[in-house]
Amino acid sequence: MQYNLSNREIPFFFFFFFGANAVAIKYSLLGIGPFTAAGIRFSIAGVAIYLWARFTGRPFALQKGQTFQILIISIVFTLQLGLLYLGLEKTSASRGTLMVNLQPFFLLLLAHWFIPGDRITKKKILGLIMGGVGMVLVFSGKKGVTADVQIGDLLILSTSFLWALNTVYTKRIIHLFSPFQIVFYPMLFCIPFFCWRDIFGTAA
């Protein structure tokens, strides 16, 4: 008997794995440095995407002008993920997950100004206010919040802003690319930086 996921169940699985991401990152940091963990993660993902793209005949070649656009996305992506791993090293997985999900607040403002037709509406503002109140309630407690935790929260807040920035820029240029290129090349770009920082930087 075949079972197909319904439209209601698919978002549940998406949210489950998205929430589990921070937990998995936090767990991986128990044994290795944050950048080494990131480097290993994206090396595995990069190989998987490369093999899939080769098998399905996806175009790897970039056209004139696309290299600079991919470079911008790659730099922001590397900063975004680097700050996320550094932040999760200092704060808890639950706080980190909530903090990184402040991204819609930044995205709403950036999209209003930089994506044609994506305007701020009353419903969007109401939704953000409801989410914001929840965030305030969660982070209002001071028990166990050390200086390190606060630094971690600030780093992940920076991640949220960079994520929103990258989303807006990607939205503006994605029609020029094969979607897999937007995923693969930033990932390929960040791997040497993460590996160099923890492996060679520590040795030095």
For residue 135, give the amino acid letter. Answer: M
Tokens of 122: 């009353």
CA torsion 147-195-98-131 (nearest 10°) is 120
Please give the average pLDDT of every successive group of 10 residues along the chain, which has 204 residues. Answer: 50 61 77 84 93 93 92 96 92 85 88 88 84 75 81 92 95 92 95 72 46
Check residue 198 and give its pLDDT: 56
3-state secondary structure at position 5: coil
H helices of 29-178, in order, are: 34-56, 66-90, 93-100, 103-114, 122-139, 147-173
Check residue 3 and give its pLDDT: 45
Check residue 117 and give its pLDDT: 86
- How far, in Å, CA of 127 to CA of 116, rounded? 21
Cα separation values, 160 from 15, 70, 124, Å: 17, 20, 18
Check residue 182 and give its pLDDT: 95
pTM, full prediction: 0.81
End-to-end Cα spacing for the chain: 59
Check residue 44 and give its pLDDT: 93
